[in-house]
Amino acid sequence: MTDRDFFQGFSISAIDGKGRVAMPAAMRQAIETNSGEERLVIAKHAKDPCLIGYGRDYLKRAHEKLEQAEAQRVATGQDIDYNAKRRAFALTEDVPFDKSGRFVMPAFFAARAKLDGLAMFIGWGDYFEIWNPEVAIATDGVDPEVKEAAEYLLSTRRAK
């Protein structure tokens, strides 16, 4: 058992014209507790058309796991999967955030996830997902309850 904080809950934030967005306070606090830094790592989700975010501590844990998997492949005579580290490290961006959790969404990642004004944050334990809520609703295979949360969050934005 570890004393790590986990990412949980869901929220929606506006993305301004300069790409600035604020992550939910609880997610910001989890990053600060886990890594002791005001830095966020953004990456493309491995399967879905969204992004994932986490602290640098998770990146370190991922590196350890990749090193172990690589050593096991070598020990069993398999080829090294060079793309595994490329995906885990090259295709990420480390961004600072301020005391309120506001950060600038990297343009490449915003384009990949079709983030065009709103970002929905969904907790996932060790990391969180960042979705365009309309894309989450339209994507096959997304949990119906996540879609319901996206619809709810959109309705609260429209009511303002």
Write down the pLDDT at residue 52: 96
Asked if the structure places residue 81 within a domain, the reply is yes
Provide the token pair at 146. 């996540």
Write down the pLDDT at residue 146: 96
Write down the pLDDT at residue 159: 67
Asked if the structure places residue 151 within a domain, the reply is yes
The boundaries of the domain holding residue 68 are: 10-35+42-158
pLDDT in tens, 121-152: 999 999 999 999 999 999 999 999 999 999 99
Asked if the structure places residue 68 within a domain, the reply is yes
What does the alpha-carbon distance between residue 2 and residue 23 come to, in Å, rounded to a whole number?
24
Mean pLDDT of 90-113: 95
Asked if the structure places residue 138 within a domain, the reply is yes
Asked if the structure places residue 144 within a domain, the reply is yes
Q: How many domains does the chain have?
A: 1
Asked if the structure places residue 2 within a domain, the reply is no
Write down the pLDDT at residue 4: 81
Asked if the structure places residue 77 within a domain, the reply is yes
What is the reported pTM? Answer: 0.89
Q: Which residues of 26-55 are buried (b: 16+ CB within 10 A; e: fewer)?
A: bbbebbbebbeebbbbbbbbeebbbbbbbb
Asked if the structure places residue 90 within a domain, the reply is yes
**CATH code, domain carrying 15:** 3.40.1550.20
Whether residue 2 has pLDDT greater than 70: no
Write down the pLDDT at residue 90: 84
pLDDT in tens, 14-66: 999 999 999 999 999 999 999 999 999 999 998 999 999 999 988 888 889 88
